[in-house]
Structure 1
Amino acid sequence: MGDLADMGDTGFFWPDSMMWRVNREVTTLFGGARALLLQAAHPLIAAGARQTGAYRRDPWARLIRTITLQSQLTFGTKRSAGEVADRINRLHAVINGVDEVTGEWYDALDYDQLLWVHAALEVSVLDFYRLTIGELTEDEQEQYHQENLTAADLLLLPRSYVPATFRQLSEYVDDVIGSGRLMRTDVADEVSHLIVSGAVPRRIKPVWAFVSLAAVGTLDPRVRNLYGLSWSPARTRVLQGNLAAMRAAMPLAPRRLRTISPARWAEALLGT
C-alpha cells in the first residue's frame, strides 16, 4: 500500500490536527458511554430509539456507529467517512413519528435533535481526553470544535446551527440540562442499565468497570439524579484515583495499547 496522498484521497485531517490528536486515544472512546447517557435522556432521541427497538435488539449498535464514524472521519479517506455517514443518514431518514411520552413530533433528522447528539459527544470526548490524557488549552479545545464541524456536515447538521465556539457549545449543553428538557424514560432506563450492569462485549470487558464508573461519575449531577444513579464521596475518591493513575500511565503505555487501530494504520501509511 502507498501513502494516503498516493491514493488520491487524503482524508479530512492530518496528524497535526486536534481531531487526530484527541480521537487517536483509546481512552477518549470511553466518553462515548457518557455521551449515550446524555443522548438517551432527551425524550425525542429516546423516542427514535423506541421506534427502532435499537437498544433491545442491538444495544451496542449506536455506540459502534458513532465510534466508526469518528474514526473514519479522522483517520480514513473522505470516501470512507462519507459512506459511513450515508448509512447513518439513511437510517435516520425513516425514524420519525409522535413520541408516546411527550406527544411531540420526533425526527432523527431534526436539527435540534442532531445538535444534542453532536454536542453530547463532543463535550464528552474532550472531557475524557482531559481526564485520562492531559489538559487542553482553550485554543486547542476551540480548534477541535471547529474541526469537528465536519462531522456535523456529514450528518446533515448545518454548521450555522452549531454554537459558534466550544465555550458556547458547553453553555448550550448546560442550558439544556438545566431547562428540564431531559427526562427519565423507559429508553433512558435501558441505556443506564446497559452502561451500569448490562451484558458487555467480550473484547471490552476488562476495562468496562472503569468505563462505567467514569461515565456515571463524570455525568452532571443533575443528569445522574434524573437517572436515579447512586453516587457517593467514596466512589468519587475511587474514580479520581483511577483517573490520576491513568494520566500518569498513559504517556508510558505502548503505542498499540494507547492508540486505536485506525490511527495506527493511518500513521503507518503516512510514515509518521
Structure 2
Amino acid sequence: MSAVPSNGADPGLVGPNSVTWQLHADPAMWLAGIASLFLQSLHPLAAAGVVQNSNFREDPLGRLMRTARFVAMSTYAPLDEVHAGAAKVRAVHRSLRGKDPDTGRTFRIDRPDLLLWVHCAEVAMFLSIVRRAGFRLTKAQADRYFDEQRHSAALVGLDPDEVPGSTAEMSTYLRDMRAELRRGEDSEVVYEFLHKPPLPGVLGLGLPVYEPTVAHLAYSLLPRWAIRLHGHSAYSPATSTAMLRAVRSAALLVPAPVRWRAPHGFVPRAMRRLGPSVRPSTKLLPVD
C-alpha cells in the first residue's frame, strides 16, 4: 500500500512509506526512549557527558522530551525544519565538553564514537522494545529500519556509511562495544534519577506509580547483558514483556489523534501537510 502524497508536499527525511514512519508512532516508543537512556549511561563518557552538562536535576523531563521531539521532528517534519533543528543540535554538541572520570582529560561531546554509541543505543532500543510490545516486523523490515536510521545519524554529524544499517550489523556493533561499557558513578546517577526524578508539585504524587510501571519496566526491557552490567535487579523477561504489552494496549485505547499530539504534534502536522493517507499504520509498512 502506498501513501506517497500527490500534492507535491515535502515528505520529510524518510517519508510515509518507511518503516520508521509507522514504528515511531507506536506508544511503546515512550518506554523505549527511557530504556535507551539506561543503555547509553553504561558508556562512561556518554554518562559523564550527561551528568556534567545536563540540567536534568532542575528539568527532570527535559532530556526525554527533547529526545522525543528530535525523533518525532526528524521522522515527520518537512526537510527544511529537520535540517534547521539538526543544525541547532549539532551546534549545542559542538559547544559541550566533558571530563573523563578515569583520566581527568577533557573530551568533546560530539566525538564520532560517542555520537555513534548514543545513536545505536537509541535506535536499537526503539526497534527491540516496540517489536517486543507486539509491533510485528519481518527481518527485512527490521533491517530496513536500521538502514533508514542512517539518515537520522547523518543529522547529528555521523557518516552514514559508518553506522550499522542492518540487524546483523547492529548486533555486531553492540557486541563489540560491551568491553567499553560498565557501571560507574555516573551511570548510577542516571539510574537513580530515571527511577526517582525530582518532579515538582502534583507531578511528584505520581512517583509511586511511575517508578514500578514506567521507570523500572523500561530498565527491565534492556538486554540481559546490559542489566547484568548495571547490576540492579529487574523484572523477569516474561513479566517485563507482559507489562509492556499491557501498557501498550492501554495506551492504544487512547484515540490516536490525542496520543499523537505529543511531542509537539508532529504526526498530525504531517497528516495535514501530506493528506490523511499518510496516517501511520502497519498497512503502510514496505513489503519485503
TM-score after normalising by structure 2 = 0.80
**Cα deviation digits, residues 83-125 of structure 1 (max 9, x gap):** 2212211111122254133445522211110110000011100
- In the other structure, the counterpart of 1:182 is 181
**Who is 1:111 aligned against?**
112
Where does residue 146 of structure 2 map in the other structure?
Answer: 145
Give the match for residue 33 of structure 1. 34
Asked whether the equivalents of residues 216 and 234 of structure 2 are also in contact (C-alpha less than 8 Å), the reply is no
Cα deviations by residue, 1:217-260 (Å, 9 ceiling, x for unpaired): 11223322333322354xx4542322343566666653235545
For 1:198, the equivalent position in structure 2 comes to 197
Q: What letter matches 2:111 in structure 1?
A: D
Partner of 2:215: 212
The amino acid of 1:271's aligned partner reads P
Shift of 1:63: 2.1
In structure 1, the partner of 2:159 is 158
Give the direction of change, closer, same or farther, for the CA distance of 1:53–1:22 in structure 2 (3 Å limit): closer
Taking only the aligned residue pairs, the percentage that are identical comes to 26
Counterparts of 1:237 and 1:140 in 2: how far apart (Å)?
A: 25
Which residue pairs with 1:129 in the alignment? 130
Cα RMSD, aligned residues only: 2.8
- CA shift digits 1:150-182 (9 cap, x unpaired): 1111100111221242321122113212x1x11
Kindly tell me: are residues 102 and 55 of structure 1, through their superposed partners in 2, closer, same or farther at Cα, counting changes over 3 Å? farther
Q: Distance in 1 between matches of 2:149 and 2:171?
A: 14
Q: Corresponding residue for 1:55?
A: 56
Shift of 1:18: 0.8
Contact 2:146 2:166 (8 Å CA) reproduced:
yes
SS in 2 for 1:106: strand
Instruction: Tell me, in whole angstroms, the C-alpha distance in 2 between the residues paired with 1:15 and 1:73.
Output: 12
Asked if structure 1 preserves the Cα contact closer than 8 Å seen for 2:143 and 2:165, the reply is no
More helix per residue: 1
8 Å Cα contact 2:142/2:167 also seen in 1? yes
Can you list the C-alpha shifts for 1:35-76, whole angstroms capped at 9, x where unaligned?
A: 101112211112222432433343433322221111111111
> Number of residues paired by the alignment?
264
User: CA–CA distance in 2 between the matches of 1:83 and 1:250?
Assistant: 32
**Equivalent position amino acid for 1:188 in 2:** S
| SS of the residue 2:164 aligns to | coil
Structure 1 Cα separation of the partners of residues 90 and 249 of structure 2? 40
Partner AA of 1:225 in structure 2: R
- Matching residue of 1:265: 269
- CA contact 1:43–1:102 (8 Å) conserved in 2: no
Per mean C-alpha deviation after superposition, the further-off stretch among 133-142 and 118-127 is 133-142
TM-score (norm 1): 0.84
Q: Does 1:83 find its partner at 2:88? A: no
Q: Deviations over 1:9-47 (max 9, x none)?
A: 432233221111001112212211111011122111122
Q: Distance in 2 between matches of 1:148 and 1:128?
A: 16
Instruction: Name the CA distance, whole Å, in 2 between partners of 1:252 and 1:32.
Output: 21
| Cα distance change of structure 1 residues 263 and 208 upon mapping to structure 2, 3 Å threshold | farther
1:54 is paired with a residue whose SS is coil
Letter in 2 for 1:193: E
Q: Is the 8 A contact 1:51 1:95 kept in 2?
A: no
Letter matched to residue 49 of structure 1? V
Q: SS of 2:57's equivalent?
A: helix
